[in-house]
């Protein structure tokens, strides 16, 4: 995943080790987190630093791939995957 300015200048990139299949911004006013579907897991990324917050990863890499992600105003994440349908991950806060 690569980040560019609006005028096309390269800023940084995030190598996940997988194949990102969807992303959404967190619902907080600052949109400080980016949720990235990476195979069959979802990574939580600090949007400014592009650091993967490994303690906040959930799900496991497996034989399916997340195709779309959506997030509601409460922070619940919805995923769609081939042959698996839709899943809902309920937001319970950011762990430390």
**Tokens representing 51?**
């650091």
> 85 or 95, which is more confident?
85
pTM: 0.78
The Cα-based distances of 75 to 53, 87, 90, 95 in angstroms read: 16, 14, 7, 14
CA distance 40 to 58: 9
Instruction: Write down the pLDDT at residue 56.
Output: 47
> 6 or 21, which is more confident?
6
Q: What is the pLDDT of residues 25-77, one digit of tens each?
A: 999 999 999 988 887 778 889 998 999 886 445 666 555 577 788 999 998 98
> Residue 96: pLDDT above 70?
no
Q: Domains for the chain: give ranges and CATH numbers.
A: 18-89 (2.40.10)
């Amino acid at each position: 995943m690569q980040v560019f300015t609006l005028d096309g200048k390269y800023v940084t990139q995030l190598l996940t080790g997988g194949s990102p299949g969807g992303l959404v911004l967190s619902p907080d006013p600052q949109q400080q987190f980016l949720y990235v579907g990476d195979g069959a897991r979802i990574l939580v990324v600090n949007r400014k630093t592009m650091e993967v917050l490994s303690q906040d990863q959930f799900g496991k890499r497996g034989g399916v791939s997340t195709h779309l992600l959506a997030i509601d105003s409460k922070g619940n994440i919805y995923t769609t995957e081939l042959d698996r349908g839709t899943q809902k991950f309920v937001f319970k806060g950011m762990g430390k």
